[in-house]
């Protein structure tokens, strides 16, 4: 593997009264696609949020290094400006903020993405075409009144517009119908082709992985990374579930 873009070493974290992650070690190189799987409640989403600097969680030990810089104590906005991106299971509604204005503002904050208003409009229009999105969405308030599938499409729009170095996709396939899943998969493929960015896909479902070339698969149980392998591990989990990983952790007296 080439030099890691994201390196997590000895990371333990949780809320004030609830330890969730236990001594996590993980490395993702530029251009790689990693998948983090595990049963519901395993701590997968928590890891994504801790990587992104969500203040809900406190790091009790360990480090997060991104692009050669220790970002463990950086705020989420600084991590975003450095090239990190997190999609949410349930994107937040922001009344009063039109989607287009939001997109324009966040791009203006990134020097490498600044451009003229005309070129920006064209860029957004091209991505909307790519994702089969009606451009009327752009005048609506951010995520307000949108279906789950529409919200996930908007996140794909942001992903392709921002072109982050690292994209963490948290349960992006959750609750999507076949058509919406196809659009999201198309967005992920376009990101891989256009940006050569790194992907960390968090899921307990294998549907969204069917059209992706996966480099490494990681398994989390009760806040512990308990397994790792190549893409073939996904097929094993799809066929047999997480039972053997849960049993192995229990045998070692792993954290509950």
Residue 199 confidence (pLDDT) above 60: yes
Q: State how far the Cα of 37 lies from the Cα of 228, in Å rounded to an integer.
A: 10
Assigned CATH for 4-90+165-251: 3.40.50.300
Q: Taking residues 3-24, report their average pLDDT.
A: 95
Residue 256 confidence (pLDDT) above 60: no
CA angle 93, 128, 196 (to 5 degrees): 95
Structure token pair of residue 219: 């398994």
Q: How confident is the model at residue 225 (pLDDT cuts 50, 70, 90)?
A: very high
Structure token pair of residue 125: 């229009």
Give the per-residue pLDDT at 183.
83
C-alpha pair distances (Å), 102 with each of 98, 132, 149: 6, 20, 19
- Ordered alpha helix ranges (H), 109-254: 117-130, 148-162, 178-195, 232-240, 243-251
| H/E stretch holding 81 | helix 76-82
Residue 188 confidence (pLDDT) above 50: yes
Residue 30 confidence (pLDDT) above 50: yes
Provide the residue ranges of all domains of the chain, joining segments of one domain with +.
4-90+165-251
* Residue-wise pLDDT tens digits, 60-118: 999 999 999 999 999 999 999 999 999 987 788 899 999 999 999 999 988 889 899 99
Tell me how far the alpha carbon of residue 167 is from its chain's centroid. Answer: 5
Burial of 163 (0-12, 13-18, 19+ CB in 10 A): middle
* Residue-wise pLDDT tens digits, 130-173: 988 888 889 999 988 888 888 888 899 999 999 999 999 998 77
Contact 196, 33 (CB under 8 A): no
pTM, entire model: 0.92
């Amino acid at each position: 593997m080439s030099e890691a873009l994201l390196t997590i070493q000895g990371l333990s974290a949780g809320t004030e009264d609830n330890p969730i992650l236990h001594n996590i070690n993980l490395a993702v190189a530029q251009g790689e696609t990693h998948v983090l799987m595990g049963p519901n409640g395993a701590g997968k989403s928590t890891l994504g949020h801790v990587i992104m600097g969500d203040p809900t969680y406190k790091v009790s030990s360990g480090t997060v290094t991104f692009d050669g810089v220790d970002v463990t104590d950086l705020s989420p906005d600084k991590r975003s400006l450095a090239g990190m991106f997190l999609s949410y299971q349930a994107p937040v509604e922001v009344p009063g903020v039109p989607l287009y204005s939001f997109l324009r503002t966040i791009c203006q904050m990134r020097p490498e993405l600044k451009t003229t208003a005309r070129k920006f409009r064209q860029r957004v229009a091209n991505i909307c075409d790519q994702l089969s999105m009606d451009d009327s969405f752009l005048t609506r308030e951010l995520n307000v009144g949108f279906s789950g599938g529409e919200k996930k499409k908007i996140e794909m729009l942001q992903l392709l517009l921002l072109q982050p170095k690292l994209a963490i996709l948290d349960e992006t396939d959750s609750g999507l119908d076949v058509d919406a899943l196809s659009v999201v998969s198309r967005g992920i493929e376009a990101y891989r082709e256009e940006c050569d960015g790194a992907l960390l896909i968090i899921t307990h479902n294998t549907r969204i992985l069917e059209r992706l070339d996966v480099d490494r698969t990681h398994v989390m149980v009760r806040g512990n990374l308990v397994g790792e392998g190549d893409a073939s591990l996904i097929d094993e989990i799809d066929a047999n579930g997480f039972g053997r990983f849960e049993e192995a952790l229990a045998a070692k007296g792993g954290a509950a």
